[in-house]
Structure 1
Amino acid sequence: AGGENIHFMRAESPGPSVEKLVPRIKTSSKMLYTIYFGMTLLMILLLLLGKMPLFDTLTLTFGTAGTGGFSVKNSGLADYTYYQQTVITIFMFLFGVNFNFYYLILLRKFKAAFKSEEVRWYFLIFSGAILLVSLNTGGFKGFFSSIHHAAFQVSSIMTTTGYSTLDYNQWPTFSKTILVLLMFIGACAGSTGGGIKVSRIVILFKSIGKELSYLLHKRSIKVLKFEGKKIQHETMRSINTYFVTYTFIFIASLLIISLDNFDFTSTFTAIAATINNVGPGLEAVGPTGNFGGFSDLSTLVMTFDMLIGRLEIFPILLLFTPDTWKK
């Protein structure tokens, strides 16, 4: 039973691989749930201290913790105070971190925690995106206001939460392009966020670097490592298969909903937003728009995309495999 449990755990893991924090999966799960609920309660407390109404606090906290992103107001989060928006920004970022990081922190293994390659890349991408968007949008409402809103939107999009404090459709093309790229990158593996995941992206680029190195130095032997460990062939094969399948589903979905004849930006980001579980895209499906104009067929396609984005691609595809239903 234990072997089957870890097998299914790997299939449903939101990332390229899965590691048990402790030998027993049940104990690992309890630890992760404890961290999750602890962070959720802390966010509730901080928002209540900021005088946010209880209903709003609970709804927005649950939307942040699960990176679901549903707001209770048509204006999104634009009507809340800077303090409240900042708290949500911070916790969106925190819930996008691999929960193994928090477990190591609780064990006071600070060195091991901060050596996490994925978390460091996550922070670098996050910080770099905020800086670039802030510089690009600095003339809108002042630089410090730009930093605030850039941090919120970068955190919201990268963690695939989907909240908004303004209509970023009005931002320059450069900033909107960064947001679209962040939709695909997503959060860390082992977090509540969606997207391709930072770990997969990092490993993919390392693989490209290895291939380029091999072309230049045929006799060189370069071992790919991630988090200080050798990347196993099984993991690399799984990532490559994931990218091929992801690309195929994305293109197929794009072609189908393009029949609705929306502009390309709306069509492309509608798929990007659904398959990566972000929520809002750009133009017609931006933060002030919705998906109501799409046909029933397109709605079904995007519903399927949201499911595979939330539950991972292969567990959903397995449902359509005859062998899955054999005793």
Structure 2
Amino acid sequence: MSTPLPPLADLLDRAHVVALPLATRFRGVDVREALLLEGPEGWTEFSPFVEYGDAEASVWLRAALEFGWTPTPPARRDAIPVNATIPAVDAGAVAAVLARFDGCRTAKIKVAEPGQVLADDVDRVAAVREAMGPEGRIRVDANGGWNVDEAEHAVHALAAFDLEYLEQPCAEIDELAELRRRIRYLGIPIAADESVRKAEDPMRVARAGAADILVIKVQPLGGVRRALALVAEAGLPAVVSSALDTSVGLSMGTALAAALGDLDYDCGLGTASLFDLDVADPALRPRDGMLPVGRVSPSAPRLTELAASAGRRAWWFERLERCHTLLAAEREIA
């Protein structure tokens, strides 16, 4: 099923630009901006991070248009288990962050934060393990922040906390493959995120034997159907995760997770709990560690309350126009 490309004027008429404050700074972000659209199938989201170029951002627009203008694939489940997400906070703040994720049995912990050291990561992971107890599942995410030697050293320092897996410890695929070879005896799987969603060839990480698990995100991969096709071709277990989406964008993630044949891991779709306010009321936050599957609509009062400034709205509209032009040009070439 091809993704429609509605006229730009129609998209601009339907667009709402919002700015969501975060409860805790996350990956250098205090406010998350997004552009929401209401399509024939329901609300959808276009929210590439502001530093991304137009070519990369246009892939996110393709995903938004698919979700808003075409039916979702059939769902195999009606609820998705999700993990808590712990930013690179001090160990003393861990309990308060975990409390925002009702009933989650798994926690993903950010590590390798610029300006911090490994001892900070160890303290944070130790605090999560203490709070969750021995039955809790812990995974750490370095966002490619280590080289191979640093990652190997960090894994040994963190292995005592019984890691479920290590997400994107190094930036390059050959580094992931080398690290995977070095730490194989520890039995800690490696998951690839940026090596999938930011790669020109997202299958390369699987062909190189550089990962045991794929972390997949709907918008960066161009839509639910493209993400499903990637997982099928790779033949690896998948974890569906968010890109710090609003509740509307998270519903895109639940649609993907619901359509997967196998769902062996809790998904990183509970991130609405990191916001002070969300566009939906109530927000799509975990309840007993689960998210329901289904489309989400923003509330009119929240769209007004969280509306971005006129200058930011103009910036997003110009970005939408440029990405729309790129998608139109792709169709002409095809």
TM-score range, shorter chain: under 0.3
Answer 1 or 2: which has greater strand percent: 2
Structure showing greater relative contact order (alpha-carbon pairs closer than 8 Å, 6 or more residues apart): 2
- Report the TM-score when normalising by structure 2: 0.23
**Structure with greater Cα Rg:** 1
- Report the TM-score when normalising by structure 1: 0.23
Answer 1 or 2: which has greater helix percent: 1
